[in-house]
Amino acid sequence: MDNYLQLKDISLSYHTKEGEVLALKNIDFSVKKNEFVSIVGPSGCGKTTILSLISGLLKPSSGEVLLDGEKITKDTSIGYMFQRDNLFPWRTIYKNVTIGLEIKHQKKDKESLSHVDDLLNKYGLHDFKNSYPSQLSGGMRQRAALIRTLCLKPKILLLDEPFSALDYQTKLSVCDDVHSIITKENQTAILVTHDISEAISVSDRIIVLSKRPATIKCIQKIEIDRALTPLKRRESPEFSKYFDLIYRELTSEKK
Amino acid sequence: MKKNKINYSKEHKKYLKQIKIDKFTTLVAQVLLLVAIVGLWELLTYVGVLDAFFISSPSRMINELVELFKDGMLFYHIGVTLYETLIGFLIATVLGTLIAIILWWSRKLRKILEPYIVILNALPKIALGPVIIIWVGAGTGAIITMCILICIVITTLSMLSAFLECDEDKISLMRSMGANKFQILVKLVIPNALTEFVSVLKINVGMSWVGTIMGEYLVSKAGLGYLIVYGGQVFQLDLVMASTLVLCILACVMYLFVGLLEKKVRKHKE
B172-208, pLDDT tens digit by residue? 899 888 889 999 999 999 999 998 899 899 889 889 9
- Residue A152: predicted pLDDT: 86
Helix axes B58-70, B10-47, angle to 10 degrees: 80
Categorise residue A177: left if φ over 0, alpha if ψ from -120 to 50, beta otherwise: alpha
Please, what is the Cα angle at A76 between A71 and A77, to 5 degrees? Answer: 145
In DSSP terms, which residues pair with A10 in a beta bridge?
Answer: A27
Q: Do A82 and B172 touch (CB under 8 A)?
A: yes
CATH of domain B62-266: 1.10.3720.10
Which residues in chain A are contacts of B264 at CB distance < 8 A? Answer: none
Longest CA span, chain B: 78
Residue B219 vs residue B182, higher pLDDT: B182
Q: How far is B16 from chain A (nearest CA, A)?
A: 25
Report the percentage of chain B scoring pLDDT > 70.
96
Return d(Cα B152, Cα B154) in angstroms, integer.
Answer: 6
Residue A157: closest C-alpha in chain B: B176
Residue spans of chain A under pLDDT 50: 255
CB pair distance less than 8 Å for B172 and A152: no
For B184, which residue in chain A has the nearest alpha carbon?
A103
Q: Look at residues A80, A75, A98 and name the one whose alpha carbon lies nearest to residue A88.
A: A98
Q: Of B134, B126, B131, which Cα lies nearest the Cα of B150?
A: B126
Nearest CA in chain A to B189: A88
pLDDT value of position B146: 92
Interface test mutation site (partner A, options B169, B170, B173, B174, max chain A beta carbons within 10 A):
B173
* Shortest Cα distance, chain B CAs vs residue A221, angstroms: 29
User: Per-residue pLDDT tens for A177-231?
Assistant: 888 888 888 889 999 998 888 988 888 999 998 888 888 888 888 888 778 888 8
Q: Is the pLDDT of residue B25 over 90?
A: yes
Residues of B with CB under 8 A from a CB of A: 167, 169-170, 172-179, 183, 187-188, 191-192, 194, 268-270
pLDDT for position B2: 46
Please report the pLDDT score of residue A77 as a whole number.
82
Mutate which of B168, B169, B176 to test chain A, going by most A C-beta atoms within 10 A? Answer: B176
Report the residue from B170, B178, B187 with minimal CB separation from A86. Answer: B170
Shortest Cα–Cα distance, B112 to chain A (Å): 20
Q: Which of A75, A104, A134 sits opposite B270 (nearest CB)?
A: A134
Write out the residues of chain A at the interface with chain B, using a CB-CB cutoff of 8 A: 52, 55, 57, 74-75, 77-80, 82-84, 86, 88-90, 99-100, 102-104, 132-134, 149, 152, 158
Please check the confidence at residue B170 and state whether its pLDDT lies above 90: yes
- More confident position, B98 or A43: B98
Question: Residue A208: which of A3, A29, A61, A64 has the closest Cα?
Answer: A29
Which residues in chain B are closer than 8 Å to A134, comparing Cβ atoms?
268-270
> Which pLDDT does position A1 carry in this prediction?
58
Give the pLDDT confidence of B45-70 residue by residue, as tens digits: 888 888 888 888 888 999 999 988 99
Distance, CA of B128 to CA of B134 (rounded, Å)? 10
Angstrom CA distances, A199 to A159, A209, B77, B198, stand at 11, 13, 73, 45
What is the value of ipTM here, to two decimals?
0.85
